[in-house]
A and B are shown apart, each in its own frame.
Chain A
């Protein structure tokens, strides 16, 4: 009953407060702009994926046509790109592009999708360095601050709006003198503040969720209800955390100016300073090896390999008897020698990239350990995971591409070593990449941890606010 009365009054106060209406309108515009940014990025990714998939089909058709023509007596277009050669068919000419389609809610949270590659050209030369290239050529400013998407607005700007709406939810009543008259009625300060904040929360969360659902409608996938629920739950929990924190600070019965200072300080620490500090700590404690080191290692290994190709081939066959299958040509061809050199380079690269991967895993572990300190980090993790643009989905994609690249090599390398020739008949047996995307249930299970911690922080702030507001009386 009290809630309905207070909410009705809050609506009237909102309607009578022009600056507040303008602030809400501006926030709504920012939400729409952020969504538009996300939709543009998603469309770009979708078109890139389409081009890559069309390229796979076109290449396969062109090779099939040329092989048929050759079988019918025609000469290859070039001796260096003869599709009968397994190192050509399995090499760059016959490559297969493995793609990761945009996550179901990429339009809401671009996340890692503009940092991590979402397609790889797989051929027999695919090695670890292929997995350490970045994706699109991107503006350095975008890389530094991230895209202005809905997740950015939620994590960074939504708390500011929440604080602007609620930093003085109780202190203003005291300062303007209405608190005494209010609390002389049969109501509690806790009930009144809860209703006032509920109204503001409905406004703010309602706007974010409405724009989110509009985004899903325009560029998303309603077939992922688990992810949508996760997104909504994270938005609600995060917004409520800030509302409840504001209630807690208000319950300390200080001035509005003091409340504003403390809450903005909390935003600065929890949203800006802590995440940055954790990031810096991860970089300092577990620094990644430089890319220059990786490139140098690759070049050194290449030079060495060129000089020792025969020796390398013998060593390769010792290490990989399954590849030879007893059909190695008596006189190793150029393709076999080249493959031995390639393999040697790959091994050297694996040593360098393994160190890189270990350090990166250590960095991620450190960030995961300390992300519980910042509700902003927790929320961001849930949002991008729900959107399908988080680390985990890209790591799973990369892992599947690694397996696919291995299958690709296993298909072509024995033919290279045996100096066999390929024909149109083998094309149907050439491996194809099929992404096994993560199930929504797995995402919900994984994101459940940060969401539960976020809810715990919300509960903690709520308990503090509840106790504090319980002590508020009319004569404070």
Chain B
């Protein structure tokens, strides 16, 4: 795994449906300055910048990283952009961590963003493919058949998706950065919300958000000089598979299982359910929580929904999932994965405020993208290991 790497600074913008008080450059700079402040640093202390966002069509700005170099203090320094669809926030942080673990840099700034209000991601995700009938209606339309398959294969009760939708929105009430603060959320309210992409209801989907997230990653010697407690990166993993092939398990993709296995091996984890204290995972549609519980090895095949039904994934359960409110409460797409990684680090640093899980020592951040075909994960701990 190379040299030790630590998270010494974390910054997030206030996430909202529309941040028209800030340009894209302003948005990423706001997150970056907050992360630098947390790390007790300025742009001049940074060796390299790694930036990520989802497809350019989401804002209609081609290669925005080129014009963001000055806003992120990257002039005269290495700057890389990472792109792995929805998992990009996660894989961007992984690339940044590798620059530290390889011994190349001492302090790397990593940033991810999306400004969904500036274009129409639903349109960008519903193109007319050559030689194909026009079918797919955004990400919800793409993932709805997979959710239906999971419900059938696992025989999960219909309420499970609604329970996740309520849990994450209640958690978001404790997170001042979250986009949605729905104090009146309830099972009845979710049930009464329109069925957009049957079997997915409106309140079982993520919002469209503007927002950015940034982290400062540091070598062991740089982390020792940091003003606040670091989160130590104990493992990173990225895996990929084709979006479609004969016999592909779309509910429980091999790439996700392999990614988790690799991550746990690096972190020395043999019993993830027992050894991991909190998980921030990428759940843009509520049913993906039970699906990923299985993919990540927290539950046996077709039983992930029992963890939800039993409350195991609530703030007071044995494996709290998304105490931040998750993607269901905040979704600046390109940043959503990095927010998972950052929230995991905040938990083991003890800086999560009202949504802190007491005594969290080991946490994972998870992101996925494309046709459930790109996975990025990391494991962070309060202990260097």
Instruction: Report whether chain A binds chain B.
Output: no
